[in-house]
Structure 1
Amino acid sequence: MTLSEENYLKTIYHLQAQSSAGVTTNAIAERIETKASSVTDMLKKLADKDLIAYKKYQGVSLTPSGLLSAKMIVRKHRLWEVFLVDKLAFSWDEVHDIAEQLEHIKSEQLINKLDEFLGFPTQDPHGDPIPDASGRINTIEKQLLSELNEGQQGICVGVKDSSSEFLKYLDKNGIALGSSIEVMSRERFDLSLVIKVNGKQLPVSAKIAGNLFVRLA
């Protein structure tokens, strides 16, 4: 596959994970920031390779071979993120763009050696699961911080928004994977929360709470 084809497969994979319905051409165009007509041309190429099932006006879905290919791209991306953070001391807000480049390396042997070298991690620095060499994914029970009630506690296990700006905000406030978070109070007016993290109380907006995944403690 070309680099562009791999990017399309990964995009469809992420969009498909967010919705049980078929992925629309417009959704792909918006995510990749290109014209819908360009998306249509690429979808025809991917369909010819049996990587997607595509019918005009009916949405797109990955075929079994397309799904496995997409998982392998995601696997490479997330393993490289682990390597960059754990071995090269990059911060979690710096690694996405670099991993975007490294994910297109073709060598399966290299990626399997990298996986072994890292100790077969099951999640990346943002808490997202890493597919194994067969495409299997170990999922964990999690929910958004915004869904917790007053008095409930959770352990931060991931982020919904992995943008550099959001991750820098979390760093500034001492919130990281593994942080214990307790909901102290909720404001009915705007659904903002006051949480306790690292022994300190911190007010957070509904937007922030809606982008943090936790596992109930």
Structure 2
Amino acid sequence: MASPAVDDYLKTIYHHTEWQTDRITPSQLAGELGLAPSSVTEMVQKLATQGLVTHRPYGPIALSEAGEHRAAAIIRRHRLIETWLVREFGYSWDEVHDEAEVLEHSISDRLLERIDERLGYPRFDPHGDAIPDASGHVHREPFVLLATAAPGHAGRVLRVSDRDPRLLRAMEAAGVSVGADVTVTDADTLRIGGDEVTLPAEAAGAVWLSA
């Protein structure tokens, strides 16, 4: 089944375990996609029949090897396009997600590889998410969620979730960017270059630091 709907399911399942280890449940998947649980159950059964996921009734869902390969391919497209829009067209990091959602289904493989080449084969998108290479492999270093980082923890900002554009704008205004060196004061405060920066409450669950 080659369709944007299938790709959206696979991407969502893939995303769920990128920055933590618990597998996604059917109810969580329904919530992420904004769909009725019955619709999700039906599609998951179809994906399992196609060999793209493994699943038992009412249990968590995992990608098969084939499903992970396909999910990595579409995520590669999405994140390369986001990086391209920021670097080449001046988009800000809070503007690119919806544009990439449209373009990821329409550009050719040839154009995608030219984009990758022009950008210098980037490993991370503007939000710090890893860009799978052409074979589906990714590079990640050990990380810690800001909410669980101990006071005094020093590290680099590895990732800021792109789920909420408003939060991205607030983080940019606070001087928080991917790659910035920070020291944790508490879950709501970082020290950046000697300055204490107060973050929105949502940041604690949306910022990842090097471990």
- TM-score category by the smaller chain? 0.7 to 0.9
1:215 maps to which residue?
Answer: 210
1:48 aligns with 2:49: yes
Distance 1:19 1:92, change over 3 A: closer
Residue range with higher mean Cα deviation, 110-119 or 54-63:
54-63
Task: Tell me what 1:140 maps to.
Answer: 141
Query: Residue 129 of structure 2 aligns to which amino acid in structure 1?
Result: D
Any unmatched runs of 5+ in structure 2?
A: none
The sequence identity of aligned pairs, in percent, is 35
* 8 Å Cα contact 1:196-1:202 kept in structure 2: yes
Could you report, residue by residue, the CA deviation over 1:55-77 in whole angstroms, capped at 9, with x for unpaired residues? 32233221111110000011100
**Paired residue for 2:198, among 196, 203, 209?**
203
Whose Rg is larger? 1
Whether the 8 Å contact between 2:127 and 2:162 is mirrored in structure 1 is no
RMSD of aligned Cα (Å) = 2.2
The change in CA–CA distance for 1:182 and 1:12 in structure 2 (over 3 A counts) is closer
> 5+ residue gaps in structure 1?
none
Residue 82 and residue 151 in structure 1: after superposition, are their counterparts in 2 closer, same or farther (change >3 A)? Answer: same
Q: How many Å separate the matches in 2 of 1:82 and 1:161?
A: 13
The CA deviation string for residues 73-108 of structure 1, in whole angstroms up to 9 with x for no partner, is 111000000001011110000001111111223632
Partner of 1:82: 83
Query: Per-residue CA shift, 1:89-128, capped at 9, x if unaligned?
Result: 1000000111111122363222222211111000000001
| Contact 1:9/1:66 (<8 A) preserved | yes
Amino acid in structure 1 at the alignment position of 2:209? V
TM-score computed with the length of structure 1 as normaliser: 0.86
